[in-house]
Every structure is written in structure tokens, then in C-alpha cells.
Amino acid sequence: MIPSSLVTRIVIVALLLLAAITSILSYVVVREDFAEEQANLDAGIELIVERFVPIATRATYQLDVQLAEQVIESILSAEYVIGAKITDDLGQELATHIRYLEIDPNPVLAAILEPHEQTLRLPLVREDPFETGRFKQYGTLEIVVSRLVALS
């Protein structure tokens, strides 16, 4: 017969081993989910860039404030975009909007996602109509993305 203190030690060691294995598996699952969410966010940002840079370029080329405002409104329809600005080649704003969000970030998520905001500055370039084969920058599209909003 096994002494009861030995049985107690075996049970405690087995429980600790089970807790360690469960923690490791949980960490792996959370890490994979986080990586997938990051990839989805990056794909969403790439899609915004693909769709709106040509239109924003046209707005700066034509100095069309209404078109620039429509582009900004459309970009801000993505919940993780908290600001956008279109400027012409002289730095004058055609359209801008910043959305202030009042969220209480999870402290663990906030620590992992340092820095919380990412600013993309995209040159708005098209072929120069007066010099064939040469490209000219007509402005800049600036997009501010909040990773806390996207991943919370």
C-alpha cells in the first residue's frame, strides 16, 4: 500500500502538470488568434490603400475639396481608422477628420500593442500631364489607425 502522503504528492504534481500544460495550450491558441487578427487588420489597411489612394490622387490633382471629403468619410467607415487627412503638394489641407474614441483599453492588450496608433503617410502620385513618362506627387494621404480599436 502506498502511503497517503505519497498519494497526496502525486496528486499535487499531476494537478500542477495539468495546469502548466493547459496554460501553454491556452497561450498558443491566444497567440495564433492574435496573429490572425493582426493579419486581418493589415489586409484591411491594404484594401483601404488600394481603393482610396487613386481617388485621393485625383482629388489632389483637381484640387477637389468635395471629392477629398468623400474619400475621408469613406476611409473613416472602417472602425479602426481614427483619422485621415488629404493635403496637396504645398501642404494645404483639402480634407481632414479625426475621430476621438473613448475606450477603456485592456491594460494587457495596451502593453502588447505599443504603439497604439499607426500613421500611414501615402504619397499621391500620378503621371505628369506635361512631361510624358514622369511622375509627380500631387499630395499626401495620411491615415491614422488604432490597433487598440481593431483588436479589442
User: What confidence tens digit (pLDDT) does each residue in 112-126 have?
Assistant: 656 678 899 999 999
For residue 76, count CB atoms less than 10 angstroms from its CB and return exposed for 0-12, middle for 13-18, buried for 19 or more.
middle
**Can you read off the three cell numbers belonging to residue 48?**
483601404
pLDDT at 124: 94
Closest-CA residue to 61 (of 94, 16, 103):
94
Q: Judge whether residue 132 has pLDDT over 90.
A: no
Helix (H) or strand (E) holding 40: helix 4-62
Higher pLDDT, 34 or 105: 34
Q: Give CA–CA dist 127/141, Å, rounded.
A: 17
Q: Judge whether residue 111 has pLDDT over 90.
A: no
CB 138 within 8 A of CB 88: yes
Most confident range, picked from 13-27, 91-105, 108-122: 13-27
pLDDT at 149: 73
Q: Judge whether residue 19 has pLDDT over 70.
A: yes
Its pTM stands at 0.73
pLDDT at 97: 94
Q: Bridge partners of 146?
A: 117
Q: Bridge partners of 121?
A: 142
